[in-house]
């Protein structure tokens, strides 16, 4: 099959190789999926730069994917063949202490598609049956959003009490847009920051407020960028406010003054995807 492989860390032209690799085969309890659409997530870019030490090239990147089940291994449901499915971006063991508490995204033995095992930048992917989910009636190019970014937005909004509160989303990319829409559906007064006039116009048409420089004192700030914006996000939160950190676009370290958190009594909540 054809695939894009991460062969080393660095710029795209040196890190990624497109070519033929061996076709994967499903083992016991596994299914073979023919990929119809794969997303490019900001995390994929951070992986390529080498920010995650658990990633060991060569590996096929891509944790956002949908496709049709082409074959199943022994013990898997044969009725799945031909069915369109979402691919789970992470695989959890279901038995560790975090999984037993319903925090599967923090599984001690998690395996991430495109990092610990080959991902969706390929013609075919193999996954355990329990990590594929049938869907119907949606174009694959739209359905792929539901594999990661939309569930991440829903889960991150759950980390904070947003109902009836004034919320700012820092970063007007895909993740930020979905967080803003979910927070609005949950009853928040939502503003989103973006440097793009075109995005600002489109977001306003969705009923979202557009952040302006003189705004401050937000009850909850969702930061989808990371180190470059984190200190400012904390300053934009009101005293006793909350900052939910969901982005790590550059992979850089952030340096903060403890006094900034202490004197303003700010709660900073990190949120792992999904």
Q: What is the rounded CA–CA span in Å between residue 257 and residue 259?
A: 5
Domain 151-270 top-level CATH class: alpha beta
Q: Where are the domains of the chain?
A: 2-146, 151-270
Mean pLDDT for 97-125 is 94
Q: How much is the pLDDT for 117?
A: 95
Q: How many other C-beta atoms can be found within 10 angstroms of the C-beta atom of residue 238?
A: 17
Q: Considering only 150-154, 218-222, 241-245, which range has the smallest mean pLDDT?
A: 150-154
Residue 52 banded pLDDT, cuts 50, 70, 90: confident
pLDDT at 123 over 80: yes
Residue 274 banded pLDDT, cuts 50, 70, 90: low
Which tens digits make up the pLDDT trace of 57-93? 999 999 999 999 999 999 999 999 999 999 999 999 9
Mean pLDDT for 140-165 is 89
Across 188-256, the runs of DSSP E, i.e. the strands, are: 189-193, 209-210, 218-223, 237-245
The two domains 2-146 and 151-270 share their CATH topology (first three levels equal): no
pLDDT at 238 over 80: yes
Virtual CA dihedral for 29, 34, 39, 40, nearest 10 degrees? 90
Q: How much is the pLDDT for 146?
A: 84
pLDDT at 29 over 90: yes
| Choices 3.40.50.12160, 3.40.50.970, 3.90.180.10, 3.40.50.300: CATH for 2-146 | 3.90.180.10
pLDDT at 251 over 80: no
Q: Which of 69, 112, 71 is nearest to 88 (CA)?
A: 112
């Amino acid at each position: 099959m054809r695939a894009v492989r991460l062969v080393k860390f660095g710029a795209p032209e040196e890190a990624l190789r497109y070519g033929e690799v061996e076709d994967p085969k499903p083992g016991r309890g596994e299914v073979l999926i023919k990929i119809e659409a794969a997303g490019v997530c900001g995390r994929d870019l951070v992986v390529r730069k080498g920010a995650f030490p658990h990633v060991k090239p060569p590996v096929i990147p891509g944790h956002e994917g949908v496709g049709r089940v082409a074959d199943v291994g022994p013990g898997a449901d044969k009725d799945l063949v031909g069915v369109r499915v979402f691919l789970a971006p992470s695989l959890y063991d279901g038995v560790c202490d975090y999984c037993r508490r319903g925090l599967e995204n923090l599984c001690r033995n998690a395996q991430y598609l495109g990092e610990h095992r080959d991902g969706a930048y390929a013609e075919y992917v193999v996954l355990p049956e329990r990590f594929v989910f049938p869907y119907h009636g949606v174009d694959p190019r739209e359905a792929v959003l539901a594999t990661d970014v939309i569930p991440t937005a829903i889960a991150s909004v759950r980390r904070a009490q947003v109902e009836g509160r004034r919320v700012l989303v820092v970063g007007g990319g895909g993740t930020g847009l979905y967080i803003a829409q979910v927070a609005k559906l949950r009853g928040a007064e939502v503003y989103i920051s973006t440097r793009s006039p075109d995005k600002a116009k489109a977001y306003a048409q969705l009923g979202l407020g557009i952040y302006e420089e003189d705004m401050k004192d937000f009850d909850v700030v969702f930061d989808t960028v990371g180190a470059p914006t984190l200190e400012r996000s904390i300053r934009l939160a009101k005293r006793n406010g909350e900052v939910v950190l969901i982005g790590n676009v550059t992979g850089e370290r952030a340096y903060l003054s403890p006094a900034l958190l202490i004197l303003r009594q700010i709660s900073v909540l990190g949120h792992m995807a999904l």
